[in-house]
Structure 1
Amino acid sequence: MVCAACRLMITAPSWRVAVAGTHRHVFANPLGHVFEIGCFAAAPGCAAIGSATSDFSWFPGTLWQAAVCVACGRHLGWRYVQSDGGTFFGLILNRLHQMPENLA
């Protein structure tokens, strides 16, 4: 799966994970912006920026940081750190494009 803005490889369908029982979630932030996100175990094309915080976390017991494309800097979602130290990414699905299988 690639960044919709610059086409850098961000993550792969095989890295999808279920968090709180499902891969896809729809959340609104405190400003009312609605995001459909997918959870992924890894996103090597993302960089986590800023200090981790629990403020307004959509997943109880987690800290989050913004996640941006390492090539173009577009905000792609969030990196979450669980209380056991595990991590996952919640990526905004309409900011990613699926690569055709013959190019993957």
Structure 2
Amino acid sequence: MESRSIDKPGEYLEFARRLLTAVDGGRMTLAASTCPLQDLFNREWPADVVEHNFRCNACGRSFQLFADTFHGHAGWGLTGPPTKEPTPEQSTGAPVTVLHCQW
């Protein structure tokens, strides 16, 4: 998924939970953030604006999850091109979901 606007807080937290699972499973790397990803699940929101920058470990693409609670906007988006070449098994036509960052 390359971009997505997120309208509801619960939707944002579910998306963050999926990313946390992807990071824990080694499919994504948290490259930079304004707060620990786990802080999103605390009782109090960590700040008016939070950003988490990720890198797909399969293709090297960069993504950002962000929320601006003051202005009421949140989303997920692609921030960088692929940086890795497909491996031979990925170019044979066999389904490889990690190339599309479907974690």
User: Structure 1 length as normaliser, TM-score?
Assistant: 0.30
Question: TM-score normalized by structure 2?
Answer: 0.30
Judging by fraction of residues, say which structure has more helix: 2
Q: Which structure's residues are more often strand, by fraction?
A: 1
